[in-house]
């Protein structure tokens, strides 16, 4: 089991990072970490992720029932979305939800990130689909993301934002950075011209590289035999 106090500090650090990088405005976004099979630490609802201290962090069980929360703090209103990911992806130990400007712009325009425009995006993400719109805090978002969970480690949420998940909190955060960087590159290259997409052959070679690197997590190319 992970050291709880250390994880609380890590959640505050990553919260500050997403806030300072402009990936969340005001009180937006939420973060969670699985610390044991039935214990999850998560950010509280309605606070700026840029100014949290460890006492803010709440603990819930697998059903979202509060195990621990200091006075004045309640778990994120989106905890069900996080718990669905842990339920359907036993390899995942951390989830980050943010509203990065460019990725959210694509989620609002209804344009998934699929064009193979640079090696790192192809290797680490493959593509980023858009899960259909759901009202935050209801079962609609967990239900909408479910069908993407076995092939992706990041999804856009229609008209809402982005979600990334991985084996560690730092890796989940890095996935969010990669999604936003990919969205920025796609946007910029479309503004200044027409992006040159990599050929099928070039993409296949990148998939092979991913396999040889032994990268953890899911990827849309996992099911391809070649």
What the block records as the tokens of 79 is 């905890």
Rounded to 5 degrees, φ, ψ at 77 are -65, -15
SS3 for 199?
coil
Residues 73/149, Cβ–Cβ less than 8 Å: no
180 is catalytic: no
Residues 55-114 that bind ligand 13P (CB under 6 A): 76-78
Is 140 near ligand 13P (CB under 6 A)?
no
**H or E element: which one contains 5?**
helix 4-20
Number of residues binding to ligand 13P, judged by CB under 6 A: 11
Residue 54 or 116: which CB sits closer to ligand 13P?
54
Fill in the per-residue mask, 8 to 37: x = in contact with ligand 13P (CB under 6 A), - = not in contact.
Answer: -------------------xxxx-------
DSSP of 111-174, one letter per residue? --B----SHHHHHHTS-B-EEPP--TTSSHHHHHHHTTTTT-SEEEETTTEEEEEESSHHHHHH
Residue 78 or 180: which CB sits closer to ligand 13P?
78
Residues 145-184 that bind ligand 13P (CB under 6 A): none
Residue 94 or 122: which CB sits closer to ligand 13P?
94
Catalytic residue list? 78
Give contact residues for ligand 13P (rule: CB under 6 A).
27-30, 43, 45-46, 76-78, 136
């Amino acid at each position: 089991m992970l050291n709880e106090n250390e994880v609380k500090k890590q959640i505050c650090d990553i919260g500050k990072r997403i806030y300072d990088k402009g990936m969340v405005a005001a009180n937006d976004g939420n973060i969670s970490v699985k610390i044991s099979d039935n214990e999850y630490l998560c950010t509280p609802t309605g606070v700026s992720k840029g100014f949290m201290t460890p006492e803010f962090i709440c603990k819930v069980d697998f059903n979202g029932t509060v195990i621990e929360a200091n006075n004045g703090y309640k778990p994120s209103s989106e905890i069900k979305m996080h718990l669905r990911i842990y339920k359907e992806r036993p390899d995942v130990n951390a989830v980050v939800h943010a509203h990065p400007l460019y990725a959210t712009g694509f989620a609002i325009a209804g344009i998934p990130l699929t064009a193979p425009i640079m090696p790192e995006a192809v290797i680490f993400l493959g593509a980023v689909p858009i899960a259909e719109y759901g009202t935050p805090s209801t079962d609609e978002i967990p239900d909408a993301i479910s069908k993407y969970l076995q092939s992706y480690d990041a999804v856009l949420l229609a008209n809402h934002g982005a979600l990334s998940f991985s084996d560690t909190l730092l890796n989940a955060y890095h996935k969010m950075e990669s999604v936003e960087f990919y969205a920025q590159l796609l946007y910029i290259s479309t503004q200044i011209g027409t992006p040159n997409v990599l050929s099928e052959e070039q993409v296949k070679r990148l998939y092979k590289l991913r396999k040889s690197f032994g990268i953890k997590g899911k990827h849309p190319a996992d099911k391809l035999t070649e």
